Structure 1
């Protein structure tokens, strides 16, 4: 791997600004290393997430995990869920298992870049520097984006862009020795 390449920018810094709110996990703190349970070689389980302080007018949420440091021009989507109801403010560990795990009714899990409909754990190339895994909860001003499971995360991001009224971010890191 080319460890001399500059780190990729945080992609959310490149989007129109929106109010922020709080996102945390009992599994890791912002900037910490992801536990093995949330890696591809571990349990491949999505971390527990809790959020608060979303803007008034939130009608649903989208939840995602993106690795901007993947050695591709487009990063790597590990998870993307739309249709999380506005009254939901947390997801338990493993909510993103194949078949929906314990996602709330109405939620739709999109294909990740592994090609599966679940949370795909952290898996940077061996020897590469630590990658950032940016978990985002996007507060939306619509209850339904009319997105189906065949919609790519990149397309879903584009569709929802005009509906994002707030965003909360939490970043974990991970590297293979």
Structure 2
């Protein structure tokens, strides 16, 4: 079969741009014009990073909104004499928010993998990304245990998980791009 692989059914088929000196294709480069006018072309790997970070921010926003709503609903349902209602609202809101953010992030990474990668190269990216999010906090705890610290500093586990969520998927997607698309 000749031609190039279409990654997104909503985008036009890619191929060499007629008259381009380097033979680059539209799939290799981000759109070159906006409503404000022309802009420089950007390699697709930069687009992957921006795309994944935007979806990560959206997933965190979804998690925060869900967590706040669950916490507020739990607090509203508690009676005025329930002294543990505030704690229950915080814990349930936190758990629901983290779960919602993780689900939204995973769905966003599925969408990113489908957008940038051809079939057959997607599952490994999703598996390694999910593993990195689980392994990063465990690794932080293991490092602090090896150096003799009784516990990891506050927030370091969350920072490790967020960094894994932000860095691993775009790097894996960029690494799994077909060689023709990495050249920009």
* TM-score in terms of structure 1 length: 0.28
* TM-score in terms of structure 2 length: 0.28
Task: Kindly name which structure, 1 or 2, has the bigger radius of gyration based on alpha carbons.
Answer: 2
Q: Which has the higher contact order (CA 8 A, sep 6+)?
A: 1
Higher helix share: 2
Higher strand share: 1
